Amino acid sequence: MMARALRNGVTFLRFNARRSTRLFSTHTRPEIENGIRIAEFPGAKAPYVTELNVLNEKTYDPIPIYRVLDKNGNVLISSEEPNIDKDTLLNMYKTMIQLYQMDKILYESQRQGRISFYMTNYGEEGIHVGSAAALSPEDLVFAQYRETGVLLYRGMTVTELVNQCYGNHEDSGKGRHMPVHYGSKQHNIVTISSPLATQMPQAVGAAYAYKRQPANERCVICYFGEGAASEGDAFAALNFAATLECPVILFCRNNGYAISTPSSEQYRGDGIASRGPALGLQTIRVDGTDALAVYNAVRRARELALQNKPVLIEAMAYRVGHHSTSDDSTAYRPAEEINKWTTEESPINKLRLYLERKGIWDAESDKAFAKEARNSVVRSMQEAERKQKPHWKEMFEDVYYDMPPSLQKQMKQMEEHLKKYNEKYPMNQFQPE
């Protein structure tokens, strides 16, 4: 699948064709192979040639995109159909629907001023459930922010997520982070951080820590966008993953845009995947609108990662929604461009058609579940809105492990102030002691 065939007609390494054995197969005199001298530089073991060749992005065929389903939900080659039990398949599909409904309602709630910010996941649902289903719940997740389906699949509830967006006292993040910056220690999900790509070297570091444990059975998956891949941290992560040989899957969601910047302006060359072989990583490019293909890719990647062979996956998709509630994407892309990705290349449609064909889902159950999913979000939201905010003292907690005297003093000042002017503040909105 990963063969990067040299283009026909390219003369570089032409001598390859003259030989039946591979260039680096066993041989007695390493520096001479079939009359070709192999250089012994510490930085590269490569053949000497006498013809000057310049390589460019056209020298190689593009890395192909692995898929299992066609757009009608048919399995293209039966041997590639993953062996997933019925309950898991239904759970995958329901998670997609749940996510879709949650996105619709929370996006609206931001428009109505109920929360300050939101980001939708439209078009990338297949990436979330396909990858999450292929992992062990013990594997550690570093997310960027547009991977909410992974969290739902892991078992975070709609209520937990909605509570985070509302920053109420039941938010396990104590109402401190802006909306969609979820995290759950219990579910092995590292709290999302705003500055792009910082999660990438951190994920490799975490994987390194796992590797040091005897009989390690956990890997780390790190999601990032094709835009974030331009950060210096991204290169550092790829290079360290390879050189430290860490049990990590670096998972790029290439959805074509970074806010308004199209991928054509973000990078040149063959996408993010082409950086993998260049840096010595196992590399897979997969159709991110095909949940089953993503599932197979991540399953294989996980096997490799656990042998300390780090993997780069590039999942191709399309960001169907606006970047966030602060963005209006009609300013930089035509509405027609989006259509294809909400119809024939919709990850949700593809998996639904597959399930229907298998006879484990139908239009009626689809309608009923969509309603149920919607209701659970509406219910969670109504409850979240009524819940109090965390106690104001939480503002001073966890800055340090032990609260230093200077913070104790600030807290005491605030306490006295609030005691004195109690009636001037919306104290009933905050948790009592």
Partner 1 sequence: MALKSSPALLGMLSRISQRAFSTSRALTSKPVTVRDALNQAIDEEMERDDKVFVLGEEVAQYDGAYKVTRGLWKKYGDRRVIDTPITEIGFAGIAVGAAFAGLKPVCEFMTFNFSMQAIDHIINSAAKTFYMSAGGVPVPIVFRGPNGAASGVAAQHSQCFAAWYSHCPGLKVIMPYSSEDAKGLLKAAIRDPDPVVFLEDEIMYGVQFPMSDEALSSDFVLPIGKAKIEREGRHITVVCAGRATDTALQAANELAGKGIECEVINLRSIRPLDFDTIASSIARTHHLITVEQGWPQSGIGAEICARVMESPVFFELDAPVWRVTGADVPMPYARSLEALALPRPNDVVSAVASVLSNRIAGEASN
Ligand X SMILES: Cc1ncc(C[n+]2csc(CCOP(=O)(O)OP(=O)(O)O)c2C)c(N)n1
Residues with catalytic roles: 108, 194, 323-324
CB-wise, 238 or 353, nearer to Mg ion? 238
Q: Which residues contact 223 (CB under 8 A, 6 or more apart)?
A: 141, 142, 143, 144, 147, 150, 251, 252, 253
Amino acid identity, position 35: G
What's the CA gap between 83 and 81, in Å, rounded? 6
Q: Is 258 in the site for Mg ion (CB under 5 A)?
A: yes
CB-wise, 121 or 255, nearer to Mg ion? 255
Helix axis angle, 86-111 relative to 347-358, nearest 10°? 150
Q: Is 199 in the site for Mg ion (CB under 5 A)?
A: no
Q: Is 196 in the site for ligand X (CB under 6 A)?
A: yes
Backbone φ and ψ for 316, nearest 5 degrees, come out as -85, 130
Dmax of the chain from CA atoms?
91
Q: Restricting to residues 205-234, which ones interact with Mg ion according to CB under 5 A?
A: 225-227
Q: Which pair of structure tokens corresponds to residue 265? A: 């302006």
Dihedral class, residue 359 (left if φ above 0, else alpha if ψ from -120 to 50, else beta): left
Q: Is 227 in the site for ligand X (CB under 6 A)?
A: yes
What's the CA gap between 409 and 39, in Å, rounded? 68
Instruction: Give contact residues for partner 1 (rule: CB under 8 A).
Output: 116-117, 167, 175-178, 181, 193-196, 227-228, 230-233, 258-261, 265-267, 331-332, 389-390, 392, 394-396, 399, 406-407, 410, 413-414, 417, 421, 424-426, 429
Q: Which of 63, 141, 189, 258 binds ligand X (CB under 6 A)?
A: 258
Q: Restricting to residues 289-328, which ones interact with ligand X according to CB under 6 A?
A: 319, 323
What's the CA gap between 366 and 153, in Å, rounded? 18
Q: Is 228 in the site for ligand X (CB under 6 A)?
A: yes
Q: Is 46 in the site for ligand X (CB under 6 A)?
A: no
- Cβ of 78: how many Cβ atoms within 10 Å? 7
CB-wise, 160 or 226, nearer to Mg ion? 226
DSSP of 44-67: B--B--SS-----TTSBPPPP-B-
CB-wise, 78 or 264, nearer to ligand X? 264
Show the binding pattern over residues 142-181: x = contacts ligand X (CB under 6 A), - = does not.
Answer: ----x-----------------------------------
Which residues sit at the interface with ligand X, rule CB under 6 A?
Answer: 146, 194-196, 225-228, 253, 255, 257-259, 319, 323
